[in-house]
Amino acid sequence: MSYLYTWNYIRERYPKLEMYLEELLKARKAFNLSGARSREEFIKLIEESLAPLLVIDDWRDKRVIDIGSGAGFPGIPLAIVQEDAYFLLVDVSVKKTAFLSLIKSKLGLSNVEVLCGDARLLKNHPNYTNAFDIAVSRGVGEIEYLRDMIFPLLKSGGRMLIFKSEGTGYKIKPGLVLLEERKV
């Protein structure tokens, strides 16, 4: 595991991260979860999911939305280690949101809500407009597309953290977190 696991509050949550890893390995094929195939690849995804901890210090009482959560990256690992924050995991796939709901239940993640639906429609819903402090997304689409979808969901001063990789047309290394703050 990476240097992130040397932080005490992450070490304390390690058993839940390990349970999540085991569930990913068991359910990968049944739920069509990820391109990752091996334990090592899933560990790397979990570690990368914790990168926002290096950018944002205080997660207490924050409302976080994970757009295109898929197998739960980055939302589930973040929710495991940041129990005082609320996480809404959104994905359009019924299979993937069923998996996320299963993980929420098995790990006892009372700070997580799972929503099956099109994230593009959330900006028109009063419960989600200007409702989140932090938005995270991994591999969903072009940055401009995400900005248009996410900014209406963020509170003033909210932060958008996007995981992008090579092959998206941007000169960005895999796992790098881009940060933009919403300007109101």
Q: What is the pLDDT of residue 55?
A: 83
**Between 171 and 9, residue with greater pLDDT:** 9
Number of domains present in the structure of the chain: 1
Mean pLDDT comparison of 50-54, 66-70, 158-162, highest-scoring range = 66-70
Residue 11 is part of a domain; what is its CATH number?
Answer: 3.40.50.150
- pLDDT, tens only, 12-57: 788 999 999 999 998 887 777 767 778 898 888 898 898 888 888 8
- Containing domain of residue 9, as a range? 3-181
| Chain segment 72-109, per-residue pLDDT in tens | 999 999 999 999 999 999 999 999 999 999 999 999 99
Q: Give the pLDDT band (50/70/90) at residue 170.
A: very low
State the pTM of this model.
0.86
- Give per-residue burial for 71-99: e unless 16+ CB within 10 Å, then b: bbbbbbbbbbbbeebbbbbbbebeebbbb
The 8-class DSSP code of residue 179 comes to E
